[in-house]
Amino acid sequence: MGPVLLVGHDADETFGLVPAVLAEAGLEVRTHDSAGLGPPEVDVLALGGLVVFGGVMNVDETDAHPFLAVERELVARTVERGVPFLGICLGAQMLARALGVPVYRAPVREIGFSVLHPTEAAAHDPLLSVFRDGDMVFHWHEDTFDLPEGAALLATGDEVKVQAFRVGARAWGVQFHVELDRPELDLWLDVAGPETLARWGTTAEALRAQADRHLPAQEERARELFRRFAGIVLGT
């Protein structure tokens, strides 16, 4: 069994609760920062799974961030070969883009917790069935995309339609930050600073107050989701 590779796009990326959950399930976990080290050079068939996380860049900013184009090809190969894949925020947008769908500005910037509406298809999905209608999940993004052709829509939101989808049997994209834990949130808020948060129309205090109310429940769902992802990797 090959390792699960976690790919981030910032030197400060902690990958939230994901490394611990996957390791507890018995998986070897490796991490990689594409922004600092360039795209990972891996044979997808040597991987047990691939999880691509978020980043501050737009998925099409390939001139400024050349690793994005290479990483998109890696995502496409991973899906083609049936290696378990999960894309989170930018990672979900990368999956959509690899499938030929344009990524564009969302009608609103989403930051903080907002309501999730799983679809009927989610009730039978190996991962997204952990969520219930009305669950609150954390966002931090300003781009979105349409549902790729042939993909199953698994969750929608009140403002941004495509919140989660599946391609085939083993590739998922989620727009919200399902990996988030409190240390990662605190780090993001410290790095962003009050001026950036003000441009997004919020404050660190407001987001921490939301997290006090909603993050424990999201973490509970997320831990189960990643335990299930580990089970898919392990074939159990």
CATH code at position 100: 3.40.50.880
Sign of the C-alpha dihedral, residues 54, 140, 226, 215? positive
Whole-number pLDDT of residue 236: 81
d(CA 24, CA 172): 22
Contact 139, 176 (CB under 8 A): yes
| pTM over cut 0.95 | yes
d(CA 85, CA 78): 7
Q: What is the pLDDT of residues 145-200, one digit of tens each?
A: 999 999 999 999 999 999 999 999 999 999 999 999 999 999 999 999 999 999 99
d(CA 163, CA 202): 22
Backbone angles phi, psi at 122, to 5 degrees: -65, -25
Range of the domain at 181: 4-234
Whole-number pLDDT of residue 110: 97
- Number of domains observed in the structure of the chain: 1
* pLDDT tens for the 236 residues of the chain, in order: 899 999 999 888 899 999 999 999 999 999 999 988 888 999 999 999 999 999 999 999 999 999 999 999 999 999 999 999 999 999 999 999 999 999 999 999 999 999 999 999 999 999 999 999 999 999 999 999 999 999 999 999 999 999 999 999 999 999 999 999 999 999 999 999 999 999 999 999 999 999 999 999 999 999 999 999 999 999 98
Whole-number pLDDT of residue 11: 82
Whole-number pLDDT of residue 169: 97
Whole-number pLDDT of residue 12: 81
State the first-to-last Cα distance of the chain, in angstroms, to the nearest integer. 13
Whole-number pLDDT of residue 134: 98
Whole-number pLDDT of residue 1: 82
Those residues with Cβ within 8 angstroms of residue 133's Cβ, 6 or more apart along the chain or in another chain: 116, 117, 118
SS3 222: helix
Q: What is the largest CA-CA distance in the chain?
A: 47
